[in-house]
Amino acid sequence: MKTKQIYECKECGAHSPMWQGQCPQCKEWNTLVPLTVDKKASRSVRSPEPGNAITPLEDLQPENHRARPTGIDALDTVLGSGLVPGAAILLGGEPGIGKSTLLLQLAGKQAALGGSSVYISGEESLPQLRTRADRLGLLGPGLPALATNRVEDVLHILENDPPALLIVDSVQTLASPNVEGIPGSVSQVKAVAQDLVERTKKCGTSLILVGHVTKDGQIAGPKLLEHMVDTVLYLEGDRKHFSRVLRVLKNRFGPSDELVVFTMRDSGLEVVEDPSTFFLGKRDAGLSGTAVAMAVDGQRPFVVEVQALVSKSYLNIPRRTALGLDTNRLHLLLAVLEKRLRLNLSNYDIYAKISGGLATRDPGLDMAITASILSSLLDRPLPEASVFWGEIDLNGQVRPVSAHETRLKQAERLGYSPVHPDTCHTLAALQQRLFGKAG
């Protein structure tokens, strides 16, 4: 036989000659999948390529690897300085969230700046892509595209006339003839990404790969895919809202905790220059169950509204629902409220959400969530112009959170009266300050 079967881990890419319940490399369970390989290819040793030699780092010229601007200033900040030659970027996000729109706008910006770019589409035909570009007002001579599902077509472009920017939408739609399996399988995604990353690093082309996501919100394919690239971006948001948030999950050329807020328009995604009050919207401060929180996501402080609804339950097991928040964190805060303030919440359905379609795991929202729950339970509005931040531990103590001074300066600039750990150290003190001794 010319082929043999081995098993490859879909998480770390490790190989095993036989199936095992646990991967011997990353120790994950049930991640080994069968893979057929060529016996001769598996035994062969790659010979060194001509020109590959050890080079002192000080002899390299930094001008040859200087980053190019994307044409979107906020995106340059997220990436560190722009598009680095030879860098590989992975962009993930749910279907219909705006990944293709953002990348088509980026290709149009590159054309306007005089840079060369090629858009590889494995999901849309060229007429469909032209219709989208026409709707966004991006049609022009400097926007070439190719519709293909063959990775060798893309490699041919890199060998003959490599562009400054190559966009592949998406990596799960391309297939390599050297590897068995359907497009999107673990072996195909790994082989396609490896070929593209290696080739672009040699020719100095900036590569952007679009990655599908699973139902859990994770980028589909082997975890090795995120290790192979230099930057991992994730575009998130609620498709029923106009806001989109571009987060950095990994970045070798800049900060890994930056984000950009976009708003979806007919002309594409537009950057929100000052997102400090973008998610707050119009609110009535005289309603109960609403609290304003000063959140920090990445390095940006912005104001969000936390809403809570506490209503009498007629179910054997009361409902606990969280939107934009961690449900487990909501359960933890409710347990602390029952224990430390001696409240009986077992007969109430409790719902909590962040308005505006934003999702965040900032621990500084604990105090705002607690205040909104108490406000809804007592049906009494919170003090007008109050803003909250602080983490609540299991003992009912309010702890300081990161970027305290940044939150305080932003709150004072916007004219809010801050309620934070320096003013309320415990839940009991918070309750007394908001609603008096009667509670």
pLDDT (tens digit per residue) in 42-80: 444 444 555 567 878 777 776 667 888 999 998 998 888
Given a cut of 60, whether residue 439 has pLDDT beyond it is: no
Q: What is the mean pLDDT of the chain?
A: 87
Of the candidate ranges 42-51, 97-106, 209-218, 289-298, the one whose mean pLDDT is the lowest: 42-51
Query: How much is the pLDDT for 19?
Result: 87
Query: How much is the pLDDT for 282?
Result: 78
Q: Is residue 438 very low, low, confident or very high in pLDDT (cuts 50, 70, 90)?
A: very low
Q: Is residue 32 very low, low, confident or very high in pLDDT (cuts 50, 70, 90)?
A: confident
Cα–Cα dist 278/364, whole Å: 19
Average pLDDT over residues 150-165: 92
Cα–Cα dist 187/329, whole Å: 38
Query: How much is the pLDDT for 5?
Result: 80
Query: How much is the pLDDT for 63?
Result: 64
Average pLDDT over residues 93-103: 91
Structure tokens at 231: 């930057």
Given a cut of 80, whether residue 187 has pLDDT beyond it is: yes
- Is the separation of the CB atoms in 9 and 17 below 8 Å? no
Residue scoring higher pLDDT (53 or 364)? 364
In DSSP terms, 335 is beta-bridged to none
In the chain, % of residues over pLDDT 70:
94
Quick one: DSSP state of residue 65?
Answer: G
In order of 99, 138, 140, the CA distances from 131 in angstroms are 16, 10, 13
User: Backbone phi, then psi, for 265, in 5-degree steps?
Assistant: -125, 175
Residues sharing a CB contact under 8 Å with residue 64, sequence separation 6 or more, in sequence order: 85, 204
- Is the separation of the CB atoms in 24 and 15 below 8 Å? no
- Is the separation of the CB atoms in 175 and 193 below 8 Å? no
List the strands of the sheet with 206-211, edge to edge. Answer: 145-147, 117-121, 165-169, 206-211, 88-93, 231-236, 243-251, 259-265, 268-271
Q: Is residue 181 very low, low, confident or very high in pLDDT (cuts 50, 70, 90)?
A: confident
Given a cut of 60, whether residue 1 has pLDDT beyond it is: no
Query: How much is the pLDDT for 180?
Result: 78
Tens digit of pLDDT for each residue in 209-238?
Answer: 999 888 777 887 778 889 999 999 999 887
Residue scoring higher pLDDT (32 or 377)? 377
Average pLDDT over residues 356-366: 88
Residue scoring higher pLDDT (357 or 411)? 411
Residues sharing a CB contact under 8 Å with residue 221, sequence separation 6 or more, in sequence order: 10, 171, 172, 184, 186, 189, 190, 193, 211, 212
Question: Binding site, residues?
Answer: 93-100
- Is the separation of the CB atoms in 79 and 254 below 8 Å? yes
Residue scoring higher pLDDT (204 or 54)? 204
Query: How much is the pLDDT for 276?
Result: 82
Cα–Cα dist 282/245, whole Å: 20
- Is the separation of the CB atoms in 352 and 369 below 8 Å? yes
2 CB burial (10 A radius; 0-12, 13-18, 19+): exposed
Query: How much is the pLDDT for 358?
Result: 82
Cα–Cα dist 200/207, whole Å: 7
Given a cut of 90, whether residue 40 has pLDDT beyond it is: no
Query: How much is the pLDDT for 288?
Result: 94
Q: Is residue 410 very low, low, confident or very high in pLDDT (cuts 50, 70, 90)?
A: very high
Angle (CA) 257-260-263 rounded to 5° is 150
Q: Is residue 24 very low, low, confident or very high in pLDDT (cuts 50, 70, 90)?
A: confident
Query: How much is the pLDDT for 12?
Result: 78
Given a cut of 90, whether residue 305 has pLDDT beyond it is: yes
Structure tokens at 289: 């169950």
Query: How much is the pLDDT for 42?
Result: 44
Query: How much is the pLDDT for 256?
Result: 82
Query: How much is the pLDDT for 162?
Result: 92
Query: How much is the pLDDT for 401?
Result: 93
Residue scoring higher pLDDT (327 or 240)? 327
Tens digit of pLDDT for each residue in 10-21?
Answer: 877 777 878 888
Cα–Cα dist 359/239, whole Å: 13
pTM: 0.79
Residue scoring higher pLDDT (116 or 40)? 116
Tens digit of pLDDT for each residue in 118-154?
Answer: 999 998 999 999 999 999 988 877 889 999 999 999 9
Question: Binding site for ATP, residues?
Answer: 93-100
